[in-house]
Amino acid sequence: MISLAGGLPAEELFPLEELAQAYARVFKTGAHALQYGLTEGYTPLRDVIASRMASKGMTVDVDDMLLTTGSQQAIDLVARVLIEPGDRIFVEDPTYLAALQIFKFHSAHIVPIATDRDGMEMDALRRELASGPPKFVYVTPTFSNPTGRVWTRERREQLLALCREFDVLVLEDDPYGDIAFDVDALPPTLYALDAQLGGDTHVIYTSTFSKTVVPAVRSGWVCAPKSVAAALVRAKQAADLHSSSIDQQALYELLTHFDIDAHIATVRDEYRHRMMILHRLLREQPWSGVRWERPSGGMFLWLELPEHVDTLELLQTAVREGVAYVPGHEFYAGVARKNTLRLNFSHSGPDTLQEGVRRLARALQPVLDES
Ligand SMILES: Cc1ncc(COP(=O)(O)O)c(C=O)c1O
């Protein structure tokens, strides 16, 4: 079975040796490295993250930053702290499936906002804001999961203007921002743009080392306006006291003794290479009515098939052919576009991608012939 389904990074790029050395350094510092730590997380690592954020135009006070068990926990903590049952939460449509699951778990009323290739549609957002502001708007404006799209700077500014007008918070989920194939073409994060506007912060920002280092360290972070940050610390204390401090210390050693930026550049180059291979393989197919946008970063390519194709039904045939993908259905909070699917290009090497597309083509061709 070839899986183009999961959102897994490429294992062959993991900094295995360097991480082993980083952990060894931590153990050499003595038993206190294994003691309970601060709920907010290992302070030296928070400082390093703050200076890495500053280099991307994001100024953060480390007191407003909390280290979390991946950005998944950051989203969950924000939901725990802010959502009362029945609260409206606005999301892009489609959006990150596991965030939808969290919001549902907290009994939110999820409101899908129409989204095009430039980001959320502002007319639709304004209409919903006018009919009842949400607790927050959840967005992944940079290399969305599932679509791989990037919001334009204009849409980002419009979102912030509207959220300030209606005094609504934004939760910016940014796990893929470092995996930009053209770093210079990337608009600033919402967090950076919001700070430029001055006044009260309206953006809660979360990111992670899962995509740039390894997911197994389960290390993400969240920066929030002061009152929210304090509530997040209390919620985290109740949840798990703190995330693994041995992992946080090892990450700190890795980031300070190893050229992480060179590593991230290698990851980017390899993912760009794999994305281009997938893009070329798809273009070589004699398909008609199959559309996609070439991603400019991240890990996913979003495919739209002719309207009559249901990708959930098609998955059974694909699996029989030996290839898996994620049907688009699950990513929609509103009416699902059943003719969509998500392909991952970060985990499979060139040969696997080639064979994966061959199998996908075998599954798809008979359905396309029906149209
Ligand atoms: C959009 C988005 N947010 C958050 C996460 C969670 O990442 P982690 O908990 O590994 O940091 C993912 C993981 O795939 C993601 O795609």
Do 208 and 293 belong to one domain?
no
Q: Indicate the number of domains in the chain.
A: 2
Residues 284 and 225 in one domain: no
Last residue of a domain, one of 242, 257, 272: 257
CA-based nearest residue to 252, from 11, 10, 51, 8: 51
Dist. CA 214 → ligand 1 center (Å)? 12
Query: Percent of the chain at pLDDT above 90?
Result: 96
How many C-beta neighbours within 10 Å does residue 368 have? 18
**Which of 209, 240, 257 is at the close of a domain?**
257
What does pTM read for this prediction? 0.97
Model confidence at 59, pLDDT cuts 50, 70, 90, reads very high
Average pLDDT over residues 188-193: 97
Phi first, then psi, for residue 304 (nearest 5°) are -115, 125
Q: Ligand 1 — pocket residues by CB below 6 A? A: 7, 70-72, 96, 140, 145, 173, 175, 208, 210, 215, 220
Atom of ligand 1 nearest to the CA of 140: 1
- Residue 253 and residue 107 in one domain: yes
Question: Residue 350 is part of a domain; what is its CATH number?
Answer: 3.90.1150.10
Same domain, 253 and 265: no
Burial class (CB in 10 A: 0-12, 13-18, 19+), 98: middle
Last residue of a domain, one of 212, 233, 257: 257
Query: How many whole angstroms separate alpha carbon 170 and alpha carbon 11?
Result: 33
Which residue's C-alpha comes closest to atom 16 of ligand 1? 145
Q: Is the same domain home to 250 and 272?
A: no
Q: Are residues 69 and 212 in the same domain?
A: yes
Same domain, 202 and 344: no
* Domain carrying residue 92: 15-257
| Distance between Cα 260 and ligand 1 center (Å) | 20
| Residue 138: CATH number of its domain | 3.40.640.10
Q: Which 3-state string (H, E, C) describes the chain? A: CEECCCCCCCHHHCCHHHHHHHHHHHHHCCHHHHCCCCCCCCHHHHHHHHHHHHCCCCCCCHHHEEEEEHHHHHHHHHHHHHCCCCCEEEEEECCCHHHHHHHHHCCCEEEEEEEECCEECHHHHHHHHHHCCCCEEEECCECCCCCCCECCHHHHHHHHHHHHHCCCEEEEECCCCCCECCHHHCCCCHHHHHHHHCCCCCEEEEEECCCCCCHHHCEEEEECCHHHHHHHHHHHHHHHCCCCHHHHHHHHHHHHHCCHHHHHHHHHHHHHHHHHHHHHHHHCCCCCCCECCCCCECCEEEEECCCCCCHHHHHHHHHHHCEECEEHHHHCCCCCCCCEEEEECCCCCHHHHHHHHHHHHHHHHHHHHCC
Residue 242: closest CA among 67, 75, 80, 73: 67
Taking the centre of ligand 1 as the mean of its atom positions, its distance from the CA of residue 78, in whole angstroms, is 14
Do 208 and 233 share a structural domain? yes
> Could you report the per-residue pLDDT of 257-267, keeping only the tens digit for each?
999 999 999 99
Ligand 1 closest atom vs CA 74: 9
Q: How confident is the model at residue 370 (pLDDT cuts 50, 70, 90)?
A: confident
- Average pLDDT rounded to a whole number, residues 255-278: 97
Model pLDDT, residue 184: 84
Clarify whether residues 29 and 164 are in a common domain: yes
Determine the pLDDT at residue 40.
98
**Probe ligand 1: pick from 138, 144, 145, max atoms within 8 Å of CB?**
145
Task: Identify whether residues 195 and 268 lie together within a single domain.
Answer: no
Residue 232 and residue 275 in one domain: no
* 249 and 275 within one domain: no
